Amino acid sequence: MAQLSLHGIKKRFRETAVLHGIDLEIGDREFVVFVGPSGCGKSTLLRLIAGLDPITDGEFFLNGQRMNDVAPSKRGIAMVFQSYALYPHMDVYENMAFGARLMGLSKDEVEARIAEAARMLRLEPLLQRKPRELSGGQRQRVAIGRALVRKPAVFLLDEPLSNLDAALRSEVRLEIARLHRQIGGTMIYVTHDQVEAMTLADKIVVMNAGRIEQVGSPRELYETPANTFVASFIGSPRMTLIDVTREGDRLSMKDGGGSLAPGALPDAAAMKLGVRSDAVLLTRGQGGEGFAGQVVYTEYLGDNAYVYVRLSDGTLLAARVGPNDGFEPDTPVTMTVAPGAAHFFSAEDGRRLAP
């Protein structure tokens, strides 16, 4: 059982403030993913939870027990690093046995745990190999196995897939998802890859510049982003944000390049209209209902295509179309928004506005 509570966690490295007060609850058996741009403090937060760096201010509780001053080895938390950090001179078996022996487990218990971890991670044929005789994906599985044999209550994984190529990434990603279902421990996973975040997480924590922007399920973050930062960060291609003014039930682009009526609107004179690529309706020609623009380029992806349009106010719009819709560069087009699919954000601070 592992339930984590973080209250007002701050971290400074000398003069540099990196975390500015993190409040977060993580439930037992949850798979939580920290995402955010490079340098936002994801790894730092993970290291504070592991006890590898001291917390400057705030409190961290694990199952109600204050952990701030508890040594890393006494926390019941295991961390898997992006670099694997395997011992090069030890074989796979010894790499996994090392930490377990330090815990004072009997020889039989160590053996039993390694056998179980090796079976779960399909490492049985590799136990006598040295790390240099393994592929990247196999090394990462050993690093996970080494954490597994300690039977920690909490697993911390810091960008565990970032050294792997695309095919291996999805393979090990499935492996980690399966492992989580099998062992049922609490997992905290750091990545800047939003596909990993969306596919693995029960709960995503979106971080930006040392603060939490939003916490929610992948669906909540995609469907109801709390602000323009989350709206742009979650979802690919990015949500397009257009500065608009409202008159009655119509929104106009600020340069006068057309207007549209996307349904119920929030009560504000100016706002940002957010549109995901799959909510854009694109027609050829200009002059009718909607915002005018010109096709810049098209990305063909086989099962569909993305058309990038420069709207008349300069905004770059991403629109998903069918693979055979063939919008040539420079084609004049008009966009509207599918009914009920528009997002609205404050023109002042970017917060989500309710219609």
Ligand X SMILES: Nc1ncnc2c1ncn2[C@@H]1O[C@H](COP(=O)(O)OP(=O)(O)OP(=O)(O)O)[C@@H](O)[C@H]1O
* AA letter at 17: A
Closest by CA to 42, choosing from 166, 259, 194, 269, is 194
Residue 38 within binding range of ligand X, rule CB under 6 A: yes
Binder to ligand X among 9, 24, 32, 42 (CB under 6 A)? 42
What DSSP letter does each residue of 34-95 carry, written as one string? Answer: EE-STTSSHHHHHHHHHTSS--SEEEEEETTEE-TTS-GGGTTEEEE-TT----TTS-HHHH
Report phi then psi at 167, rounded to 5.
-65, -45
Residue 36 within binding range of ligand X, rule CB under 6 A: yes
Residue 216 within binding range of ligand X, rule CB under 6 A: no
**Helix (H) or strand (E) run with residue 260 in it:** strand 258-260
Residue 43 or 336 with smaller CB distance to ligand X: 43
**Helix (H) or strand (E) run with residue 275 in it:** strand 270-275
Q: What gap in Å lies between CA 120 and CA 148, rounded to an integer?
A: 10
Give start and end residues of each alpha helix (H) in the chain: 42-50, 92-102, 107-120, 136-148, 166-183, 194-200, 218-223, 228-233
Residue 211 or 254 with smaller CB distance to ligand X: 211
Dihedral angle sign, alpha carbons of residues 184, 224, 191, 39: negative
Residue 205 within binding range of ligand X, rule CB under 6 A: no
Q: What gap in Å lies between CA 33 and CA 195, rounded to an integer?
A: 11
Residue 43 within binding range of ligand X, rule CB under 6 A: yes
Taking the complex as a whole, the smallest distance from the CB of residue 259 to ligand X amounts, in Å, to 41
Residue 130 or 192 with smaller CB distance to ligand X: 192
Residue 340 within binding range of ligand X, rule CB under 6 A: no
CB-based contact 204:215 (threshold 8 Å): yes
Taking the complex as a whole, the smallest distance from the CB of residue 219 to ligand X amounts, in Å, to 24
Q: What gap in Å lies between CA 175 and CA 283, rounded to an integer?
A: 43
How many Å separate Cα 99 from the centre of its chain?
30
Task: Select the span of 37-45, 194-202, 211-219, 301-309 touching ligand X (CB under 6 A).
Answer: 37-45
Residue 274 within binding range of ligand X, rule CB under 6 A: no
Residue 160 within binding range of ligand X, rule CB under 6 A: no
Binder to ligand X among 129, 130, 192, 211 (CB under 6 A)? 192
Residue 18 or 33 with smaller CB distance to ligand X: 18
Residue 16 within binding range of ligand X, rule CB under 6 A: yes
Residue 186 within binding range of ligand X, rule CB under 6 A: no
Closest by CA to 159, choosing from 49, 75, 238, 46, is 46
Half-sphere exposure of 132 (CA within 13 A, CB side): 3
Residue 11 or 141 with smaller CB distance to ligand X: 11
Residue 336 within binding range of ligand X, rule CB under 6 A: no
Binder to ligand X among 2, 4, 9, 18 (CB under 6 A)? 18
Residue 324 within binding range of ligand X, rule CB under 6 A: no
What mask, x for binding ligand X by CB under 6 A, covers residues 102 to 141?
A: ----------------------------------------
Residue 39 within binding range of ligand X, rule CB under 6 A: yes
Taking the complex as a whole, the smallest distance from the CB of residue 46 to ligand X amounts, in Å, to 8
Task: Select the span of 23-31, 34-42, 241-249, 301-309 touching ligand X (CB under 6 A).
Answer: 34-42
* AA letter at 336: T
Residues in contact with ligand X by CB under 6 A are: 13, 16, 18, 36, 38-44, 192
